[in-house]
Amino acid sequence: MKDINYQKHYYAGTRDELVTILADTLSEFRFQHILRVEAKALELADHFAITDLEKVSVAALVHDYAKERSDDEFKTIIVRKHLDQDMLNWGNYVWHGFVGAEMIHDELAITDEDILNAVRRHTTGAPYMTIYDKLIFMADYIEDGRDFPGVDDCRATTFADLDAGVAWQLKHTLNYLLTKQTPIHPKTVLTYNAFVANNK
């Protein structure tokens, strides 16, 4: 992996300082995951000739910053910051993206909207996704620790065509959610429509 030397465009400290905070904040399991997501996101960025590697690195490292917070903490922020109150009907899976972005903004002083949006959109996706959204969305799904059936096919698809990778993930996630008969966030459906159903 390329060594990313932060120019402090997005985070006030060095990469090492950010990594130390994350190591102290997250379980070892999740800490290793975010490092693998960063490695994969940088690999994808290199492959697709994305030049702002500092932005990719910060977004990847912080994407699950809030994943291990309590439900009560998320609910408090949704109410206190007057976020979309429908959020209260969802759970950690949706909160750690949408509400996690608020925590990253407030606690880590990261204000770049590309980074915050990549965090907000990393679980449900969005009908319109920036290149950074797509890199984090896919790196999270295909990082080297993932071993679900078809992951190698998804990796190959993603490196061949990033949008096709996004569509691959959405099809499989939606299928999985349907089998489990869990509620599906409307944003996931809108993303599916944009990348799969309307793009045949």
- The residues binding Fe ion (CB under 5 A) are 64, 140
Q: How far is the CB of 97 from Fe ion (least distance, A)?
A: 6
Choice between 40 and 55, CB closer to Fe ion? 40
Give CB contacts under 8 A, 24+ apart, made by 27-34. 27/68, 30/64, 30/67, 30/68, 32/145, 33/64, 33/143, 33/145, 34/60, 34/61, 34/62, 34/63, 34/64
Q: Of the two residues 66 and 78, which places its CB atom closer to Fe ion in the complex?
A: 66
Closer CB to Fe ion, residue 30 or residue 171?
30
Q: Indicate left, alpha or beta for 179 from its phi (over 0: left) and psi (-120 to 50: alpha).
A: alpha
Nearest-approach distance from CB 64 to Fe ion, in angstroms? 4
d(C-alpha 158, C-alpha 13), whole Å: 32
Which residue, 41 or 78, has its beta carbon nearer to Fe ion? Answer: 41
We find the least distance from the C-beta atom of residue 58 to Fe ion, in angstroms, to be: 15
CB of 122 to Fe ion, least distance (A): 6
